[in-house]
Amino acid sequence: MALDARILLVDDEVRLLEPLSMALEDMGCYVKTAPGPDEAMRCAREDTFQIAFVDNFLGPMRGIDLMQQMAKLDPGLDFVIMTGNPDIDLAVESLKTGAADFIRKPFRIEEMLRSIDYVRRKKALEQQRQEVMAGLELKIKEKTEELELMHFSVLASLSRAVETKDPWTYGHSKRVSGHCRLIATRLGFDEFSIENIGAAALLHDIGKIGISDAILSKKGDLSDEERSVIRSHAQKGVDILSPLKQFEALLPAILHHHENYDGSGYPAGLAGEDIPLCARIIAVADAYDSMLSNRPYRSASDQAAATAELIACSGSQFDGRLVHDFVQALRAGKLDK
């Protein structure tokens, strides 16, 4: 059976090249010979081979070093290092530096054929492995995109559910989310954390789904009991989302978005840096957007009045550093409204 391989033989023992070349050609191989590094490099530049048999002792240069230079010219080329040196370290170094096989001189043509067969099988296996890996990577990418799409669909549906429940907040969650993302970007959050706070802000009032319409839309003063029902939306949000594993990281921000910096907020009365940073950011963005919107119990403020109110409440209701960043972003025209 014809071997049909493209072979380059590199050896400064020129007397060996001709009989090896002839034997391989008789078996159907395409063979070129090179008596030194320069000729070998020229052959690799001008022709295409599958396997280069390279003697390790080539006068000024080691075969292993030549192999590395030739590999840069043709990364698909496989190498077999040949040597009369019985040193096992050399064999190990050859394989470590990229040779596919190693044969010791003197060798018979059968050993060369075995080596060609071995190198080709190894190559075929490597190609198969790469194809399997590429297939797996593609599947993982498709699944990841599918999951991301599902994640965003769930997010969009849930935030729409809040707005259906409380028409006064139409567009509010989305605007608060946008504000939070910009503040987070300004604070140097990484991409993942920016996505997280954007999602938490989108869902910060999800607990309102569990509050009666009569209380949510009530004009006029709320009784203590009604106020306590409204306040329960922070915990209710966590109760609604906690079965969804993918929203686990958002829960602290949702639970604590009504905490005040001085500890006077709810539900836990946390103060200062004990309040999760994302919750402190949402508190600022939520209050700002609420002040600019009409609510059942009051009409909208303008931007200057809302900003002044945020500044007035720095250190008491809000984290002053975040208010400062937010106002800077507003003045730089980087936020809506």
Min dist CB 224 to Fe ion, Å, is: 18
Q: Identify which range of 7-15, 183-191, 202-210, 293-301 contacts Fe ion by CB under 5 A.
A: 202-210
Residue 166 binds Fe ion (CB under 5 A): no
* Cα 228 to the center of its chain, rounded Å: 43
Phi then psi dihedrals of residue 154, to 5 deg: -65, -45
Min dist CB 283 to Fe ion, Å, is: 9
Q: Tokens 């003197």 belong to which residue? A: 106
Q: Identify which range of 87-95, 136-144, 204-212, 320-328 contacts Fe ion by CB under 5 A.
A: 204-212
Closest to Fe ion by CB, 55 or 205: 205
How many residues lie near Fe ion (CB under 5 A)?
1
Q: Identify which range of 19-27, 48-56, 66-74, 200-208 contacts Fe ion by CB under 5 A.
A: 200-208
Min dist CB 241 to Fe ion, Å, is: 14
Q: What single DSSP character describes residue 31?
A: E
Q: Identify which range of 129-137, 197-205, 265-273, 311-319 contacts Fe ion by CB under 5 A.
A: 197-205
Name the CA radius of gyration of the chain, rounded. 36
Cα separation, 182 vs 187, whole angstroms: 9
The one among 78, 101, 166, 205 contacting Fe ion by CB under 5 A: 205
94-105 residues labelled b (16+ CB within 10 A) or e (exposed): beeeebbbbbeb
> Binding string to Fe ion for residues 78 to 107, with x set by CB under 5 A, is what?
------------------------------
Opening angle at CA 205, ends 200 and 191, nearest 5:
10
Assess contact for 318 and 284: CB atoms under 8 A: yes
Give the H/E segment covering residue 47: none
Min dist CB 220 to Fe ion, Å, is: 20
Min dist CB 233 to Fe ion, Å, is: 6
Cα separation, 284 vs 118, whole angstroms: 68
Q: Identify which range of 112-120, 137-145, 168-176, 203-211 contacts Fe ion by CB under 5 A.
A: 203-211
Closest to Fe ion by CB, 7 or 278: 278
Phi then psi dihedrals of residue 317, to 5 deg: -80, -40
Closest to Fe ion by CB, 102 or 318: 318
Min dist CB 258 to Fe ion, Å, is: 6
User: How many C-beta atoms surround the C-beta of residue 271 within 10 A?
Assistant: 14
Min dist CB 211 to Fe ion, Å, is: 10
State which residue has the least CB distance to Fe ion: 205
Instruction: Please state the length of the chain.
Output: 337
The residue ranges of DSSP E strands in 56-122, in sequence order, are 57-58, 61-62, 78-83, 101-104
Residues forming the site for Fe ion (CB under 5 A):
205
